[in-house]
Amino acid sequence: MQIAPLSEFDFHPRMAASRGVSLVLFTAPDCGSCRVWLRLLNHFDSPLLHQGYVVDVQISTALAREYDVFHLPSLFLFVDGKFHAPLHAEARSALLAQAISAALNMPAHEEP
């Protein structure tokens, strides 16, 4: 899967135009765990997930505050451009697929 960068300036319009299931990873350049997640997402292939995005919290601080990002990496699932749920999983393909499936089978959370 190709991971596209987002900033606080294009996040909302691009998410509104997104169809299907999107995963947004909030990260920072100096975050080792974030680099592991980026490598995983670049090779992740699942029919459950249509697109992936990454947000650098050092550049997009307002967006990080909007989504209450306190720990990195932070992952959020969106469906048809709307917030669906925070995502918690180990950085392993099988566990990520299970977490996405479980989140999609639950009602949408309230946006932070």
Condensed to tens digits (0 to 9), the pLDDT of residues 14-49 reads: 999 999 999 999 999 999 999 999 999 999 999 999
Share the mean pLDDT of the chain.
Answer: 96
List C-alpha distances in Å: 95 to 89, 91, 98.
Answer: 6, 7, 5
Q: Which residue has the tokens 């669906």?
A: 84
Residues of the domain holding 62: 3-104
Confidence of residue 50 (pLDDT cuts 50, 70, 90): very high
pLDDT at 1: 82
Give the CATH number, domain containing residue 12. 3.40.30.10
Q: Considering the domain boundaries, does residue 110 fall inside one?
A: no
pLDDT at 2: 84
How many domains does the chain fold into?
Answer: 1
Cβ-based neighbours of 14, under 8 Å, separated by 6 or more: 4, 6, 53
Taking 3-state DSSP, the helix, strand and coil percentages for the chain, each rounded to the nearest 5, stand at 35, 25, 40
**Per the confidence metrics, is the pTM higher than 0.85?**
yes
Cβ-based neighbours of 36, under 8 Å, separated by 6 or more: 91
